[in-house]
Structure 1
């Protein structure tokens, strides 16, 4: 099918245009592109072809210069590209700049500065609390309803979709074991998440207010924060996740700009506890997002977590991340935390789906409690768009290989 003649309702139509970085077969040169259907458009060459002054921002091998340019420029570049791909007068100039996705290599689209992961789904937190702290009582810890819980991860192990994930090794100790042992993780898990990409930096000592979220955050992507549950359970007291998380975090090759998701904005769930002023969004514009996520294990859908159920929003996470004066850098990435809904089929981790291995999943290729070598996990998602269209979010996939 010709690149401009998309099927009706294509989730990667001109209303979407997510950004990525690619190289053509046989070439090591990386180029910024936007996705249109099953093609990628050379964004810099397209900008030059139609006389846009923003071509230099798009001529770099990473999205970071565009990320740093700020919201006004983001809007101008997006508007230019949308006009370019919808105006028939530009077709002849742009067609040579469109390349089938099957003929390009997709790369990590931005240089990751810092990585932070949150824990913002009440359903996930309650499930995890019930699993790890059985015996009654509130599954949530006392601080959970008062601040977005998070931890700092490792930016250097954020990898693009399609990168193999090597099974990590580390210390683990079952409750009945007298001493810890060392070896490959036997409880390797997924965490279906959404990642938010920071564009405009902030000064150290200057917190970012809730209302300034979209002045700093460029867009979002799907994210899988792989987790070694057996290593985690032994190491995380008292300081939290460390080696169980830092070995790999996979992100989509496509960053969807926030402007493409205006119709997907929704109010978050009702808050049950009063919030401190810097987190209080009762008078703010809706800051949740209606993203419909699907989790597939070896091609079989095992979960459909709804992002609209997340208790803490991305704006609140950013406000909390900086309230102590911590600065933002261009390319900072922060994960939402595992997305889980209230129903069993909406749980965003195998920990929850199998209740820590007690209830194995029945799959066409056999039972699963946690991931086996050779397993392929794929997250995909869509959001409501303009005029009843869907906005597709680029999938994130990874295969487990022996360490």
Structure 2
């Protein structure tokens, strides 16, 4: 895992940085913090010290066992994150100014830098700030764009610090080494979540899919430059907010099939991460089914749903690549190989949904990659975000 230095400056959105630091630590990274004098007026350094169990750098003088603390922190870092980045620190970084602990340490840092701006919309739109942002990009600094919304001043505009979960999602992709141009110009069609098959207006047949895996893949693909169309069934997590991800909501397997059919021809890659129902009721009751006096059983007649993966893969062109998932409770590789052979998929991602190892709803997953004519490749257990990043890197090698 990485050694990450977080540089906190005096923006009012500073409080969001605490949650980002906690998430980085939960991901297993080692985090240290440096603060400007203005930042210490908003959050006490003792808070960050308690959170990271590391000393907080606030001055160039007399605060560390190291004779040159800012160089020690700069050399220690695998990544440097500026959060929030005020117009002041952006200007200093763009022009090589080093007049406090934060700006001096950043100037001495050779590690990749990630800047997350937050300021008033008029400041953000100021030509001087935009020149400085352009210079940082030219210097190889990654910029996570500010969000649009209600500002501290009470009116709307671009300049808000993105929400912590959005920041951490982008940081994970950067830290995991995903190239922003890897899928530039490519179209990915992805399904995620579970389908529901109605029994009556109240009840349905469903499954425990959360949608985490498919959404993580969509976010990774968008970060890698792809245009993503994401078909969502029922999910238990927030749907992604990204201008490169277009979302379609469906409920039943047949609705998902219709949407996949409509969108498939424009895609380079189809990833069927959704957990679709294999059967649906023959008839849907028009009103809620009521228990009758003395009734002990209720029979449902079910009929097979359309096999979306098989039906769609049968129509793929030579320039299209189709990925399916095999979620199994037993005989994982045997069942997944049958799926690979019978459904004309190019690649199957096999994972277990049995007992305590179930991937449903979990942040972790352990998958095996199956391809025709190749030995299975078992990936180690990792977060679904990491699986998504690794999958996108693999798929980039499969298409021209």
Give the structure with the larger helix fraction: 2
Q: Shared fold by TM > 0.5? A: no
Q: What's the TM-score once normalised by structure 2's chain length?
A: 0.26
Give the structure with the larger strand fraction: 1
Larger Cα-atom Rg: 2
Structure with the greater relative contact order (CA < 8 A, sep ≥ 6): 1 or 2?
1
